[in-house]
Amino acid sequence: MLFLALLLTASPDPTLAAQGVNESVLTTDALLALKAGSLSAVEPSGAHFSTRPLTALSGAQRAQLATAVLGVVKAYLATPEAHQRFGASKAGKPPDDPSALLKELEAEQAKRRSDQAEQLAQAPAAQRAQIQKALDESNTAIDKMIADARARAPEKQKRYEQKLAEWKRGAEAREHELEPHLKGLLTQFLAETKDLPWNAKLGPDKAFVDHTLEDKPRWWKACWRAGKEPVEAARAFATKWVAELK
């Protein structure tokens, strides 16, 4: 449940495009929130929450914007791509491809030799033989390491492919966790926004006078700042959404 667009009121036009809302950011943040089990993917930094007063849009317009945001997120989270990305994110980091690591070593050695040739050309003629000897000793050790890596490459590649297949199976299994995670977050949102204290008072520092409210998470306070109309619109959307999930 993301409210990234509710507080972006630079334009008095309740459309995502007018508010500068990037749909790919919304969908990425939705997946981050699901992975973290959070109602807001940006809660730690608050980077998406504006501090500007909500004057550009009316309550009804913010409700329209909230519904548009949630419509984008809902449509994306129903796609195979979203399920695949969620499963992959929950499966952890995939194994490193040893062939890529070997290519990196080879490229580094090739660059090293090129740099050495330049270094040697700029060295005084009397010192070149001594420098060349030192470089040859260094290169021999590195070349041996690369040769050993090449010799072990087939075995390493086989193990990598086995680990990758295992990782993919794990990621595919985790894809099925998206909807239960989503349903849990939507249910939590509905529970925690059921009776928002719209008449709560703010002090001169714009903090809640009631300290129990000031201790609420950023996403909750963002909902309160957005106002009753968009929150009620989001609650109506979420209620229907929960009913559709398994």
Structure pTM? 0.71
For residue 138, tell me if it sits in a domain: yes
Q: Give the residue numbers spanning the domain of 211.
A: 23-91+176-244
Q: For residues 181 and 150, state if they share a domain.
A: no
Q: Looking at the structure, do residues 206 and 158 belong to the same domain, yes or no?
A: no
- For 52, the 3-state DSSP assignment is coil
34 lies in the same domain as 58: yes
Would 31 be classed as within a structural domain? yes
Do 126 and 152 fall within a single domain?
yes
- Expressed in angstroms, the distance from the first to the final Cα of the chain is 17
Q: Which of 107, 136, 163 is the last residue of a domain?
A: 163
Report whether pLDDT(220) > 80.
Answer: yes
Residues 151 and 211 in one domain: no
pLDDT at 25: 73
Does 169 reside within a domain? no
Last residue of a domain, one of 134, 163, 192: 163
Q: How many domains does the chain have?
A: 2
Q: Which of 115-126 are b and which e, b meaning 16 or more Cβ less than 10 Å from the residue's Cβ?
A: ebeeeeeeeeee
87-139 pLDDT, tens digit each: 999 999 999 988 888 888 899 999 988 988 888 888 888 888 888 888 888 89
